Amino acid sequence: MVTSLYVGRFQPFHKGHLHAVKYIANRSDRVIIGIGSALESHTLRNPFTAGERMEMILLAIKEANLPLTKFLIIPIPDAPYHKSWVSIVETLTPSFDVVYSNEPLTRLLFKEAGYEVREIPLLKREVYSGEEFRRRVINNENWREIVSEHIANFLVTKGLIDRVRALVSTDKPK
């Protein structure tokens, strides 16, 4: 049985993430989706809470008719130091065999810890990215095409689009 780990911040969970999840699910018996920087929220870079991000992932899995029982969705807080991060992932998740990631630091840390790390084919990275999503929300451009329909509705209904816009002018760092 192959268990794969896929960690992202999912701010928000967009079509590129869904593409990756499908790709990994096709190659695994079980997929652990780690919600990174889980305790961060209410900043421009990390506007949504881990609970809100988990709701989005559940909506996307359902909307895409993926088998829900194949997935474990687990919030992963940041480590105080990069060198401890892998141990925090390991303690919070069932054990896994392969790590899927394109993020250089994530790849580096898991490789130094002895894991097999695989690339994920990217889907239209210039559109499907959290940064592009936040840019469009702030500039009132078409952010809806970046996420699934159900997630778009969720973001509006819960007032989360308004939250992103309110956070633009804060002077608090992080």
**Euclidean distance between CA atoms 28 and 24, whole angstroms:** 6
For the CB of residue 72, give the shortest distance to its own copies in the complex, in Å: 7
Binders in 67-86 for its own copies, by CB under 8 A: 68-69, 72-75, 77, 79-84, 86
**Euclidean distance between CA atoms 167 and 48, whole angstroms:** 11
- Coil vs helix vs strand at 90: helix
The residue from 18, 24, 25, 109 that contacts its own copies (CB under 8 A) is 109
Instruction: Answer positive or negative: Cα dihedral of 73, 74, 77, 78.
Output: negative
- One-letter amino acid at 54 equals M
Answer yes or no whether residue 132 interacts with its own copies by CB under 8 A. Answer: no
The residue from 19, 64, 66, 92 that contacts its own copies (CB under 8 A) is 92
**Euclidean distance between CA atoms 103 and 54, whole angstroms:** 21
Interacting residues toward its own copies by CB under 8 A:
38-43, 45, 49-52, 54-55, 68-69, 72-75, 77, 79-84, 86-88, 90-95, 103-109, 163, 166-174
